[in-house]
Structure 1
Amino acid sequence: MNFDQLKEQWNKEGSDVNIPDTIQQLKESRHPIEKIRKNMKKEFPMQIGAIILMALFPLQFHFPASQYIIYYVSYTMMVVISSYYLFGFYQFYRQAELYTGNTKNSLWKIYHELRLNMERYQSFGFLLLPHFLVTIGLQIYNMMEKQGRSLTELTSPQQLGLITAVLIGILTVITSIVLWTKYSYGRSARQLKNILNEMDE
């Protein structure tokens, strides 16, 4: 069943819901697919810019030259991982332009692609955690060194506090990634699912 048939069926039932005649009209009425593409179009350059800015962290945080190799090995791994995921996001963005969305099958396809890319989006964020931990670790080490202290001098309560702070930070980042994914794309995914459920009725 396509949207024209759905509209005709709902009109027969006396529904007040106005179903646009074409997918173009659906897009103009802020169709979920268009919202997804708009969000991705905004996020993509921001993600690229953030990765580029991270290359300057050693200069911004005044890391000693001896630590550059540690940071940039981690950074290189992050860039490789990011490139894989960002390429996948870009492919989905381009594919979304090709979907006509005027049949149930095409909407199911884009819905499943969206759910898959939401999982990829979260995985992408989780895989960046090791690099951030390396960066934070180097920063803590340098701060302690400036104070004439070392990690071996930390007392047991201080070590426990540091570990707890790191764990809380990791959980906070993970929670933020999940919530941001739901905020950015979850609503559109639910709207697509609702449309598909209505087409099944």
Structure 2
Amino acid sequence: MNIDELKNIWDNDTAENTPEVSLEQRKSLNLPLEKIRKNMRWEFWSTIILLAFVLVAIWGIEMPFRFRLYLDILVGSMTLVTLFFYHKFFKLYKEISNPELETLASLQDLLHQFHLNKQYYLSFYISFVPFIVAEMIIILESIPYTHQYSNLHLVCVFLGAVFAGLVFLWILGKFWFNYYYGKYIKKVEDLVKELRN
């Protein structure tokens, strides 16, 4: 068997296993993809506004220098982490803004990108665990009456606050992703299943 015969077999095998996406199916994809793009834009701009609000609050409220320094470093670090994940987020946004969805393989690739983005989302929320811990340390060290707590009381308050913050973050992240992206990704998954059958 020579190389040309192998290429023909490969091309025929790929063509048979990669059904084309019909025009009607592409049209049905436009709505969920547009909703995802719209939600991505909204999330980006709301994050920018939230960051601006936090910075104004930090600099607009009178507080001791040490406390402000810690908050500035914490917010700056959170901003760097957020920028990293938004860079990944923006790559997906560009990819779904101009999708070439003509075959099952291209749809599967898009679905893979969505699942990868879901992992980025999870990683984004997990990356905030140290920030929650740092925030609790800053808050507990800055409130004078917490210095009167017994060791056990301090441990209980600290661990309780961190645990409550993490549970809230987990619930918020899960709800946020499912509400803004999950239901639209499900429509893409349904189309992929339909094309596989």
- 1:62-94 CA distance string (max 9 Å, x none): 431122222222222222111111111111111
- Aligned ranges for residues 126-141 of structure 1 at < 5 Å? 126-141=126-141
Aligned to 1:191, what secondary structure does the other structure show?
helix
Structure with the bigger RCO (C-alpha within 8 Å, sep 6+) is 2
Corresponding residue for 1:175? 171
Preserved contact between residue 3 and residue 103 of structure 1 (Cα < 8 Å): yes
Q: Given the alignment of the two structures, is residue 94 of structure 1 paired with residue 97 of structure 2, yes or no?
A: no
Preserved contact between residue 118 and residue 185 of structure 1 (Cα < 8 Å): no
CA RMSD in angstroms comes to 2.3
Preserved contact between residue 85 and residue 120 of structure 2 (Cα < 8 Å): yes
Preserved contact between residue 21 and residue 101 of structure 2 (Cα < 8 Å): no
CA spacing shift, 1:150–1:67, aligned 2, 3 Å: same
Q: TM-score, normalised by structure 2?
A: 0.78
In structure 1, what is the Cα distance between the partners aligned to 2:173 and 2:42?
Answer: 17
In structure 2, what is the Cα distance between the partners aligned to 1:169 and 1:22?
Answer: 42
Structure 1 runs not aligned, ≥5 long: 5-19
Corresponding residue for 1:121? 121
* Deviation (angstroms), 1:150: 4.1
Corresponding residue for 2:21? 3
Corresponding residue for 1:39? 39
Corresponding residue for 1:164? 160
Corresponding residue for 2:14? none
Looking at secondary structure, tell me which structure has more helix per residue: 2
Preserved contact between residue 122 and residue 181 of structure 1 (Cα < 8 Å): no
Corresponding residue for 1:16? none
- 1:23-61 CA distance string (max 9 Å, x none): 3x3356x2x222211211211101122223232343456
**Runs of 4+ in structure 1 over 4 Å off:** none
CA spacing shift, 1:131–1:55, aligned 2, 3 Å: farther
CA spacing shift, 1:39–1:118, aligned 2, 3 Å: same
Corresponding residue for 1:21? 24
In structure 1, what is the Cα distance between the partners aligned to 2:136 and 2:55?
Answer: 15
Preserved contact between residue 61 and residue 139 of structure 1 (Cα < 8 Å): no
CA spacing shift, 1:62–1:136, aligned 2, 3 Å: farther
In structure 2, what is the Cα distance between the partners aligned to 1:136 and 1:2?
Answer: 54
CA spacing shift, 1:110–1:82, aligned 2, 3 Å: same
